[in-house]
Amino acid sequence: MPIADMNWNILWSSTGGGTLEMNIGAQKAVGQASLGQADGEGLCNSGIRGFRTRPNPAGPENVTDFGDNFYNWPNTVFDQSLTSVTFALALGSHQEGTVVCNILRWS
């Protein structure tokens, strides 16, 4: 199954972390988060905070939220009707970091 298209962005923070939401039309896709770089002392984590799907084009979106605990954030999600991925970065004090945020759309 070849990749048909890709969306990407960078999430950067030096203030404890943050989130970045990327939206697409409902389709078969993978969201993937990768720690780009981190500087400073202490724990840092990146992942997917949540995602949305729309299995029925005329219906509502289904929301999955992995919560505030960054140990629960997966690095990859896949769905046949993915519409949105919320990427996240958690940092300790005196740190900065980046997350590479990808959505790969399959044909």
Give per-residue pLDDT as tens, 68-102: 999 999 999 999 999 999 999 999 888 999 999 99
Euclidean distance between CA atoms 33 and 86, whole angstroms: 10
Query: For residue 1, is pLDDT > 80?
Result: no
Residues 6+ away with beta carbon under 8 Å from 6: 102, 103, 104, 105
Average pLDDT over residues 24-37: 95
* 40-50 pLDDT, tens digit each: 888 889 999 99
Residue 23 · residue 84 · CB < 8 Å: yes
Query: For residue 104, is pLDDT > 90?
Result: yes
Name beta bridge partners: 19. 88
Q: Does domain 3-106 have CATH number 2.60.120?
A: yes
Output the pTM of the full model.
0.94
Average pLDDT over residues 28-52: 93
Query: For residue 51, is pLDDT > 90?
Result: yes
Query: Residue 7: its pLDDT value, please?
Result: 95
Each domain of the chain, given as residue ranges in start order, spans 3-106
- Helix, strand or coil for residue 65? strand
CA proximity to 17, closest of 95, 73, 77: 95
